[in-house]
Amino acid sequence: MKADLPVPSEGELYERIADRVGIEPEQIAEVLASHGLELTGSLPAKRELVVHRLYCEGRKTGTTGNDGPFTVDIRLGRGPWAISSSINSAGKSSLLWALSFALRGEGFDAFCRPETVGWFRFVRVDIEVGGAAASVRLFFDKPGHPSTRLLTADAIDDLLALEGQSEGRMGVRLAATAEPSGVKGLIGRFMMERLGLQSVSVWAAESNAPKDENGNRDSAEQVHGWASFFYAIALNSASDSLLLGPTLVGQLPVKLMQLFLDVPYAAELSRLSTLRKAETQEVSRVARRAKEDARARDEQVAPLREALEEAQQRLRRMEAARPDVGGLVAAVDQAAAELAAQQTAHQEASEQHRAARKARQSDQRAERRAKQSSAARLLLGALDPEVCPRCDHEIDDARRAAENDEHQCAVCARPLPSVLEDPQAQAEALARIDTRLAASKVAEDSCAATLAATAERLAAARAAYDESAAQLAKVRSSDWFVLFDKSQREVDQMRGALTLATGGKCEDTPPALAAALAAAKPVQENSVEQGSGYETVLAAAAEALKDVVDRHSRALFSELNDEIVQIAHDLGVTNLTSVNLSLGGQLNAVKSGAKHRFSAFSPVDRLRMRIAVVVGMIKVSRRRGIMSHPGLLLIDAPTAEELTSQATHQVLDTLYRTGNTVPGLQMIITSIEDAVWDIYPKDRIVTGVDGRELF
């Protein structure tokens, strides 16, 4: 066993960083704390995950003569286990999938058999996690989307004593529940907290993000938690070309190895690196946006100035061609005054004409009565009222007829005096009536002439007013005003656009708008200097942490390299001379005397190498007295690609011996090979009736 490298304390790290930047360690701690970073390091890990029981209920459908309900109850523990059958499609991988779903919060794709997912109605897994007893219960109301109930107990035996879906027992408690959308999150948090794990951050380019001038895309943080860590428990299938984990992005495989080798300060370096990249990218984005804005302004300003000048010239031409609206308005006012005067004169002449006409009509009636009635002649010269002088009631035709025929006064209805007509007096009276009628006719004719004259002058005044008003309306509704308003709006719009494009530095900018733009600009004088100082501290901290992480990783990887080669040989990987794990996650194997990429291994050898890496990590950490890996391995069909029974026997024997000899290891495999029955004791084999269907 190689000597352990010393791990610097928190205070020593702060001093190293302080020496790099020339400030006090306390200030270093404050800067890092302001970014959510504390260099407390991690205590030796003791991660343990043991599966004690797998219980499933469901109903099989779509099989050939084997449909119906099923119940599976499997008791497990530490050491090697084989889920085996003598036939294919017996449910081996499906049971591993059900187990992985309860442990991970979602099914492991490599174990999934789509045709059996809908069979499971209830899955229960009783486990010990970091020394705590728990039972994960999955209820599949919808295939592949269960709700969950998480139970805890004082001891694992309290949970194992429960039957089926039962939860009632002294010491057993319901810890949490989750609907289908929250199952992965709940189980992930539970496992991370109980196993003392921290999320790993990687920085990955956004696939749809635009490229900058250097061809680089904007990136984003990807946070990997329990679902990704689970790849060190449930190994990738033989067909997968990744050494470890779900992706190569951000060197995740090597970060998973550092995690499960308990490399000091690896998690802190991961968070710090992501933080720096995020801040650097934001600074780059701000600078890029500023550069793009400046370029866009430069491209916009010249055309905008030209457009503004053209709009102002059009406006000046429109102003020079402005119609004389003032003169037209004065003409309309003058015509209106003349029209009002003529309307007054016409009204007066009309009233005079009506009075003259009424007088003539009255005289004409008097003449007619005098010539037709002796009573009227008797009263010639007397009062001849139209209405009663007292009550204003009209003297109607009946009264006048009575006066003529019955000689009764039309006013008081009394008999008229009996007076004999004097022919001479009668002639004189008629003469007077004729004279008065002639005079009233002359007066009426004069008033009619005056009325006709005023009517002509009124018509002329109205025509003059209508003409001047029409000319004013025509000018006001002409295209000039429309074009003038349009030209004015164009000038205002060009000024606004130029103001925005120049940031308020346009000479045509209205003072109020320029003041508003100046007030809206953020003050950034001190932020650049402060950000630059922070970046210096963060960069120095990253260098100090990277030095520790790299030195410890190299030392542990060097020790792990020897384990990988030895385990790979035991698993039947031939002609493998060496491996040299790099900090970039490359295996750097030498096989048959030549460099050999991991993806160049055959599928069966890739699985063997993957098993060798994980088992090697477990053995290295155990030798150092820590349990940084949970100690559980789930491997589906490790010999599926083997071509010889001898190689198959060698692989299964190595796995069995590994499960027996590595302290705290629990290894569950599936297999259809006959060698399982020779290597694994019967109490370590999970199988069905006569070695056939498991459920």
Residue 667 — very low, low, confident or very high, per pLDDT cuts 50/70/90?
A: very high
Q: Which residues pair with 152 in a beta bridge?
A: 134, 173
Mean pLDDT value across the chain: 85
As a whole number, mean pLDDT of residues 488-497 equals 81
- Give the per-residue pLDDT at 105: 96
Whether the pLDDT of residue 517 is over 50: the answer is no
Residue 369 — very low, low, confident or very high, per pLDDT cuts 50/70/90?
A: confident
As a whole number, mean pLDDT of residues 550-579 equals 93
Distance CA 610, CA 604 (A): 10
- How do residues 127-163 score in pLDDT, each as one tens digit? 999 999 999 999 999 999 999 999 999 999 999 999 9
- Give the per-residue pLDDT at 508: 59
pLDDT: which is higher, 336 or 390: 336
The pTM score is 0.66
Rounded to whole angstroms, the maximal C-alpha distance in the chain is 176
Whether the pLDDT of residue 629 is over 90: the answer is yes
Task: State what percent of residues in the chain have pLDDT above 90.
Answer: 45
Query: Phi/psi at 70 (nearest 5 deg)?
Result: -145, 155
- Give the per-residue pLDDT at 166: 96
- Give the per-residue pLDDT at 133: 97
- Give the per-residue pLDDT at 129: 96
- How do residues 59-97 score in pLDDT, each as one tens digit? 999 988 889 999 999 999 999 999 999 998 899 999 999
Of the listed ranges 137-141, 484-488, 601-605, 669-673, the least confidently predicted one is 484-488
As a whole number, mean pLDDT of residues 560-568 equals 95
Q: Which long-range contacts (CB under 8 A, 24 or more apart) does 661-664 make?
A: 662/615, 662/618, 662/619, 662/622, 663/622, 664/48, 664/78, 664/622, 664/627, 664/631
Query: Cβ(544)–Cβ(10) under 8 Å?
Result: no
Other beta carbons less than 10 A from residue 692's beta carbon: 13
Please name which of 197, 379, 187 lies closest in space to residue 270, comparing C-alpha atoms: 197
Determine the length of the chain. 695
**Structure token pair of residue 496:** 């606004």
Of the listed ranges 68-77, 489-498, 627-636, the least confidently predicted one is 489-498
Whether the pLDDT of residue 582 is over 60: the answer is yes
Looking only at the bridges linking them, the beta strands covering 120-129 and 49-60 are antiparallel
DSSP 356-415: HHHHHHHHHHHHHHHHH-HHHHHTTTS---SB-TTT--B--HHHHHHHHHH-B-TTT-PB
DSSP 55-90: EEEEEE-SSSS--EEEEEEEE--SEEEEEE-SSSSS
- Give the per-residue pLDDT at 3: 52
Please name which of 366, 350, 353 lies closest in space to residue 437, comparing C-alpha atoms: 366
- Give the per-residue pLDDT at 407: 66
Three-state secondary structure readout of 458-506: HHHHHHHHHHHHHHHHHHHCCHHHHHHHHHHHHHHHHHHHHHHHHCCCC
Other beta carbons less than 10 A from residue 690's beta carbon: 9
- How do residues 370-386 score in pLDDT, each as one tens digit? 776 655 555 544 556 66
Please name which of 598, 618, 593, 621 lies closest in space to residue 608, comparing C-alpha atoms: 598
Please name which of 662, 602, 608, 658 lies closest in space to residue 637, comparing C-alpha atoms: 608
Residue 318 — very low, low, confident or very high, per pLDDT cuts 50/70/90?
A: confident
Whether the pLDDT of residue 420 is over 70: the answer is no
Whether the pLDDT of residue 513 is over 50: the answer is no
**Structure token pair of residue 218:** 């904007």
- How do residues 531-550 score in pLDDT, each as one tens digit? 457 788 889 999 999 999 99
- Give the per-residue pLDDT at 332: 86
Residue 300 — very low, low, confident or very high, per pLDDT cuts 50/70/90?
A: low
